[in-house]
Amino acid sequence: MEKVRLTIDGIEVEVPSNYTVLEAARLINVKIPTLCYLKGINEIGACRICLVEVERAKSLQAACVLTAAEGMVVHTNTKAVREARRMNLELLLANHDRECLACVRNRNCELQKLAEEFQLDHIKYARNKKPQKVDLVSPSIVRDPNKCILCRRCESVCHNVQTVFAIGESGRGLHTSIGPAFEKSLAEVPCINCGQCIINCPVGALREKDDIEKVWEALEDPDLHVVVQTAPAVRVALGEEFGMPVGTRVTGKMVTALRRLGFDKVYDTDFAADLTIMEEGTEFLGRLNNGGKLPLITSCSPGWIKFCEHNFPELLDNLSTCKSPHEMMGALLKSYYAEKNGIDPSKIFVVSIMPCTAKKFEAKRPELSATGYPDVDAVLTTRELGRMIKQTGMDFAGLEEQSFDSILGDSTGAGVIFGATGGVMEAALRTIYEIVTGKALEKVEFEEVRGLEGIKTAVVPVGDFKVKVAVAHGTGNARKLMERIVSGREEYHFVEVMGCPGGCVSGGGQPIVSAADRLDYDPKVLRAKAIYEEDKDMPLRKSHENPMVKKVYEEYLEEPNSQRAHELLHTHYEKRKKII
Q: Residue 153, SS3?
A: helix
Catalytic member of 367, 558, 559, 567 = 367
In the residue annotation, 50 being an active-site residue is answered as: no
The Cα 146–Cα 392 span in angstroms is 31
Return the amino acid letter for 389: I
In the residue annotation, 283 being an active-site residue is answered as: yes
The Cα 149–Cα 204 span in angstroms is 10
The Cα 149–Cα 125 span in angstroms is 15
The Cα 12–Cα 319 span in angstroms is 56
Catalytic member of 240, 241, 283, 426 = 283
Q: How far is CA 486 from CA 121, 297, 318, 489, in A?
A: 58, 13, 11, 8
Q: Residue 51, SS3?
A: strand
In the residue annotation, 362 being an active-site residue is answered as: yes
In the residue annotation, 536 being an active-site residue is answered as: no
Catalytic member of 359, 360, 456, 542 = 359
In the residue annotation, 36 being an active-site residue is answered as: no
CB-count burial class (<10 Å; 0-12, 13-18, 19+) for 528 = buried
Helix (H), strand (E) at residue 366: none
**Residues 280-316 as b or e (16 or more Cβ within 10 Å = b):** bbbbbbebbeeeeebbbbbbbbbbbbbbbbbbbeebb
In the residue annotation, 320 being an active-site residue is answered as: yes
Q: Residue 524, SS3?
A: helix
Catalytic member of 110, 240, 280, 426 = 280
Q: Residue 225, SS3?
A: strand
In the residue annotation, 359 being an active-site residue is answered as: yes
Catalytic member of 156, 299, 301, 320 = 320
Catalytic member of 504, 506, 534, 542 = 504
Catalytic member of 53, 155, 362, 426 = 362
Q: Residue 411, SS3?
A: coil
In the residue annotation, 574 being an active-site residue is answered as: no
Catalytic member of 36, 148, 201, 300 = 300
Q: Catalytic positions, please?
A: 280, 283, 300, 320, 359, 362, 367, 504
